[in-house]
A and B are shown apart, each in its own frame.
Chain A
Amino acid sequence: MREVCVVGVGMSKWGEVWRRSLRQLFVDAAMEAIKDSGVDHLDSLYVGCMSSGMFVQQEHVGALCADYLGMAGLPATRVESACASGGIAVRQAFLEVASGVSEIVLAAGVEKMTDCSGDDATSALAGAADQEYEVFHGATFPGLYAMMAHAHMDKYGTTSEMLAAVSVKNHHNGAMNPAAQYPFEVSIDRVLGSVMVADPLHILDCSPITDGAAAVIITSEEIARKLGKPYVKIIGSGLATDTIAIAQRDDMTRIKSASIALDQALKMADRKLSDVQFAEMHDCFTIAEIIIMESIGLYEPGKAGPAVLAGETALDGKFPINTSGGLKSKGHPVGATGVAQVIEVYKQLTGRAENGRLIPGSPKIGMTQNMGGTGASSAVHIMEVA
């Protein structure tokens, strides 16, 4: 398999973007990535999008995106795996370039979530859970992660303060990210004092509803070198699944899809986890970041919460996590999230992270972990400086 690179990135300001539609959000990010990379054409595009049909009644998003990018005729494929759609769009672009079928592929993600009521958005998001055996009984996404959190607290003594510390850290980082939806600091007291959504998760333990898009240009190293722009290599890619319903899992305090996907990516990269120096993780809820840290083997079960509280995953900690602000502060336009994670790792590795958000010591290898639902799917990418 040949070397595959990320050579340009684009991401608009995320939030409640009333002035931009689904297609405009995509075009803004895609045009920025194309300009940033300097490529003069695309061979194809992938776009991660979870639920445009429920959010804005628009399907057929691949064609829509190619059309409004001014490239009707281009092969274009929409990828859906709930909140992991973006990560898998990157993976599909990676595979297409690695195979030699294409030289230059756009991997994007987009979601327009505020053109409908909060109830409709909640209902669309619930599509990532088991409709007949979870949602039918009144489960919400915060509710499902809350059950995982209670199980984790019961088994390992994880506390609400440890969960809140994830939110505090990610908001601190996000305050330095110009694209973040909620670029402000929060304190542990503020998280614990915020409205309880589903015990033990407060509203400030939850990622928000967001409009946004993100795009990257994936290409061969040969092309990347010719373009003369900063680029990084994708050295490993993994994708794995688990049961759709949490009740079906042997251990509700682990997310197996993340560990399987990471193992695949490490094997492809011929690296060990200890070679990876920082990560963007799927903190859709604070407990998710803690469970992922443990599931991938970064920490022993029960040790991740105390590590976050001790600052080990802060920007200047020994293994920084979510320097972008994570889903919590940056926002979570579900289909775009996985692509935005790749953008943050790219920015860190090329020294382009803004506003003092650069990890000290110029790390050489970073990873992304993007997941769908309660972890029924997980996509992992490992990236290295070129």
Chain B
Amino acid sequence: MTMFSSRNWREYPQRYRLEASRFKKSGKTYFPPRTVDPETGDTEHEIVRLPDTGKLLTYTVIRVAPAMWSDEGPYALGVAEMADGTRVMAQITDCDVEKVRIGMEVRVEFRRIQSEGHAGVLSYGYKFVPRWF
């Protein structure tokens, strides 16, 4: 199914710059950005950038990959808690998938995510790499 590149373009601020929303009243930061704070119902917020380091809360190794990723399996995917407490899901790359562990420290890097995507163009975004690299 072909999707338009505007769909990807719309997400650039998040995917390229890790832009999140921070709400005035609660001080909470959400990624991806929200326009309504679930805690307070507040809509007044500013755009902030997430820190680029975090720690893996959980992960998996996808061994049966969907068609679009079939050349890339097995690949590791995880959720990290960033240094400011926000949580982000991304692939974990530049390491042996068998060595990925909960608690592992990761850094966010700008990478190609899909080589042929729904967007019909190359899609870029963030991936995690272990901090020892």
What residue in chain A is nearest B7 (Cβ atoms)? A132
**Given A154-B58, A199-B63, do A137 and B79 touch, yes or no (CB 8 Å)?**
no
Report chain A residues within 8 Å CB of B123.
136
Contact B66 A126 (CB under 8 A): yes
Closest approach, in angstroms, between the C-beta of B89 and any C-beta of chain A? 5
A interface, CB within 8 angstroms of B: 119, 122-123, 126, 132-134, 136-140, 142-143, 146-148, 150-151, 154, 195-201, 203, 245-248, 252
Contact B60 A146 (CB under 8 A): yes
Contact A147 B113 (CB under 8 A): no
Report chain A residues within 8 Å CB of B113.
136-138
Contact B91 A138 (CB under 8 A): yes
Report chain A residues within 8 Å CB of B61.
196, 198-199
Closest approach, in angstroms, between the C-beta of B131 and any C-beta of chain A? 19
Q: Interface of chain A, helix or strand or loop or mixed?
A: helix
Contact A150 B60 (CB under 8 A): yes
Contact A133 B63 (CB under 8 A): no
Report chain A residues within 8 Å CB of B57.
151, 252
Residue B62 at the A interface, CB < 8 A? yes
Contact A198 B64 (CB under 8 A): yes
Closest approach, in angstroms, between the C-beta of A137 and any C-beta of chain B? 5
**Given A122-B66, A137-B89, do A252 and B58 touch, yes or no (CB 8 Å)?**
yes
Selected A-B contacts with CB under 8 Å, 26 pairs: A119-B66, A119-B67, A122-B66, A123-B66, A126-B66, A136-B113, A136-B123, A137-B77, A137-B91, A138-B62, A138-B65, A138-B77, A138-B113, A139-B62, A139-B89, A140-B65, A142-B62, A147-B79, A150-B102, A196-B63, A197-B63, A198-B62, A199-B60, A200-B60, A247-B88, A252-B79
**How many positions in chain B have a CB within 8 Å of any CB in the partner chain?**
30
Q: By CB atoms of chain B within 10 A, which of A123, A137, A140 has the most?
A: A137
A247 to B85, CA, bound (A): 11
A219 to B14, CA, bound (A): 50
Report chain A residues within 8 Å CB of B88.
247
Report chain B residues within 8 Å CB of A203.
64
Contact B60 A147 (CB under 8 A): yes
Report chain A residues within 8 Å CB of B69.
138
For the complex of A and B, list the 5 residue pairs with the smallest distance between their C-beta atoms, beginning with the closest: A146-B60, A151-B58, A119-B67, A247-B87, A199-B61
Report chain B residues within 8 Å CB of A198.
60-64
Contact A138 B58 (CB under 8 A): no
A197 to B73, CA, bound (A): 11
What residue in chain B is nearest A202 (Cβ atoms)? B63
Contact B87 A248 (CB under 8 A): yes
Report chain B residues within 8 Å CB of A247.
79, 87-89
